[in-house]
């Protein structure tokens, strides 16, 4: 039972990160391997607000979200769109964007190491127990979960109930056809990439309330987000949420039943199963 609840709490926060990458990969078609670094940058923002300004870490959303949005907008506009333009086919764009975003990821880590140094950073916020079904859980984890659920809900509504959301989903399904019905595909891609970056950075804020991080931990979260997105099916929001919960549960189960050092192995086992049996995602239709 404890495992179940901890797993769900963790999984819900993962879904926020996965949402960010889904927007970037599903809509803008960029496999952003610098995703985790954006998350760490967001976490740094929260850490800074909490330790120096003595404010709730969640207030950092006020500058982290717009900051990440603008930064990702610039990255897509000036670094990635040239790659989209010069690519002759999807495979070429894939290779180029993988290498370019790796470069950005390492550059970010390098810059963060310069600015903040290599130490672990952690702070204690709402570090008190609450009882759920009689067992104690960290209040910060519960709050993080609720915030993630609220944000995911908001995004889901936005994607399904607004004009822009509709346009984004159209680009995700078929960029060429979306262009034919007068959707500005490059603009929508840029917007999706920027929005995805902002969501990821906010995910970093949420995670930082209960996880210890350092400048070079981003890659771990990139891996997790990638596994979730592939497991859920590329561009599939519902699939991503369920995949997040599965990953959260699997990691928690392995950590508490076998060894906390094997959480990545757990994630990998899931990944492998998906690749072998459902490479099109949990709810994906098999393409012929």
- What residues make contact with another protein under the rule CB under 8 A? 31, 33, 79, 82-83, 91-92, 94-96, 98-100, 102-111, 113-114, 118, 216, 219, 223, 226-227, 230, 259, 261-262, 264-265, 267-268, 271-272, 275-276, 279, 285, 288
Q: Of 157 and 275, which CB lies nearer to another protein in the complex structure? A: 275
CB 6 within 8 A of CB 133: no
Residue 117 beta carbon to another protein: minimum distance, rounded to whole angstroms: 9
Radius of gyration of the chain (CA): 18
Smallest gap from Cβ 224 to another protein, in A, equals: 10
Q: What is the spatial distance between Cα 111 and Cα 123, in angstroms, rounded to a whole number?
A: 22
What residues contact residue 273 under an 8 Å CB cut-off, 6+ apart? none
Q: Which residues pair with 121 in a beta bridge?
A: 213
Residue 21 CB, nearest approach to another protein (Å) = 11
The residue among 63 and 268 lying less far from another protein, judged by its C-beta, is: 268
Of 9 and 267, which CB lies nearer to another protein in the complex structure? 267
Q: Which is nearer to another protein, 93 or 155 (CB)?
A: 93
Residue whose CB is less far from another protein, 132 or 282:
282
User: Which residues are CB-contacts of 36 (< 8 A; sequence separation ≥ 6)?
Assistant: 105, 217, 218, 219, 220, 221, 222, 223, 225
Q: In angstroms, give the least distance from the CB of 126 to another protein.
A: 30
Hunting for tokens 């960010």 — which residue is that? 20
**For 236, left (φ over 0), alpha (ψ -120 to 50), or beta?**
beta
Q: Provide the minimum distance between the beta carbon of 96 and another protein in the complex, in angstroms, as a whole number.
A: 6
* Rounded least distance, CB 125 to another protein, Å: 29
Tokens of 244: 């997040």
Q: Can you tell me the distance from the alpha carbon of 269 to that of 288, in angstroms, rounded to the nearest whole number?
A: 26
Nearer to another protein, 26 or 138 (CB): 26
* H runs (alpha helix) in 23-119: 35-52, 61-74, 81-86, 90-116
Residue closer to another protein, measured from CB, 60 or 189 = 189
Please state, in angstroms and rounded to a whole number, the distance separating the CA atoms of residues 136 and 78: 48
CB 174 to another protein: min, Å? 14
């Amino acid at each position: 039972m404890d495992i179940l609840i901890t797993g769900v709490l963790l999984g819900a926060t993962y879904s926020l990160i996965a949402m960010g990458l889904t927007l970037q990969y599903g809509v803008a078609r960029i496999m952003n391997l610098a995703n985790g670094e954006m998350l760490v940058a967001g976490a740094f923002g929260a850490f800074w607000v909490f330790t120096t300004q003595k404010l709730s870490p969640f207030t950092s959303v006020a500058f982290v979200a717009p900051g990440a949005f603008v930064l990702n907008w610039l990255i897509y506009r000036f670094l990635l769109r040239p790659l989209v333009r010069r690519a002759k086919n999807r495979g070429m764009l894939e290779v180029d964007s993988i290498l370019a975003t790796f470069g950005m990821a390492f550059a970010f880590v390098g810059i963060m190491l310069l600015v903040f140094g290599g130490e672990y950073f952690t702070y204690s916020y709402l570090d008190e127990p609450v009882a759920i079904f009689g067992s104690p859980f960290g209040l910060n984890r519960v709050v993080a979960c609720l915030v993630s659920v609220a944000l995911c809900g908001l995004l889901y509504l936005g994607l399904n109930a607004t004009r822009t959301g509709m346009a984004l989903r159209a680009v995700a399904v078929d960029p060429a056809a979306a262009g034919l019905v007068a959707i500005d595909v490059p603009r929508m891609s840029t917007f999706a990439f920027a929005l995805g970056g902002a969501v990821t950075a906010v995910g970093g804020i949420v995670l930082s309330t209960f996880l210890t991080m350092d400048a070079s931990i981003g890659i771990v979260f990139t891996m997790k987000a990638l596994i979730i997105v592939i497991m859920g099916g590329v561009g599939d929001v519902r699939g991503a949420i369920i995949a997040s919960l599965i990953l959260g549960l699997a990691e928690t189960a392995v950590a508490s039943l076998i060894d906390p050092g094997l959480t990545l192995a757990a994630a990998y086992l899931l990944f492998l199963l998906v690749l072998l049996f459902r490479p099109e995602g949990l709810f994906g239709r098999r393409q012929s």
